[in-house]
Amino acid sequence: MPVVVIANPKGGVGKSTLATNVAGYFASQGHAVMLGDADKQQSSRLWLGLRPAAAAPISTWEFGADQIAKPPRGTSHVVIDTPAGLHGKRFKEIMKWADKVVVPLQPSVFDIFATRAFLDELAENRQASKAQIGLVAMRVDSRTIAASQLDSFVQSTGFALIGHVRNTQNYVHLAAQGLTLFDVAPGRVARDLAAWQPICDWLNRA
């Protein structure tokens, strides 16, 4: 049962956007998906409450204050949306579950600084070191100077940049309906699906 953790210590970088769309991708492939929300804001849980019955099902994974309950039988894929400032005991507890860690990153000096420290913590964490770690450039055009600077930073970390998620209102409009890119006609979001293809390939890689 693969567990994908979406994590970055800085808020507002797109963790919930990534988490919901990763869960939506797995669900579109016919998997039994659970989406856990460890963030106090509960954005992913709210999104699940908006999800229409006709959409591919995604279940909620309950988190306690101190412990993470084991997913029920029948679950094949798990996605965990984590809070800003994740560290300490909670960080270690969540990372024990992780098979893959996806780190969203925006092209600003503040995001880069905060994420660098977090990536160092990931590298030092014994449990996290067993997980595959991939970075995703958020709200950036891969053809811009900002994207190039971000790519240079990622190369310096030694981790893989697995994709670019462009800045588009598609995510906003779909999230308001409890939907993802993978729930609508491909022609409506063709450019975004193309951008997600390398991310999906990485998620599927053993």
Quickly count: other Cβ atoms within 10 Å of residue 62's Cβ.
12
So what's the pLDDT on residue 168?
Answer: 92
> How many residues would you count in the chain?
206
So what's the pLDDT on residue 118?
Answer: 83
Q: What's the pLDDT tens digit per position in 142-163?
A: 677 777 778 788 888 888 889 9
Residue 122 has pLDDT above 70, yes or no: yes
Task: Give me the number of domains the chain comprises.
Answer: 1
pTM of the model: 0.90
Return the CATH number at 117: 3.40.50.300
- C-alpha pair distances (Å), 18 with each of 62, 70, 83, 142: 19, 23, 13, 17
d(CA 111, CA 90): 21
Q: What angle do CA 188, 173, 15 make, to 5 degrees?
A: 105
Residue 109 lies in domain: 3-204
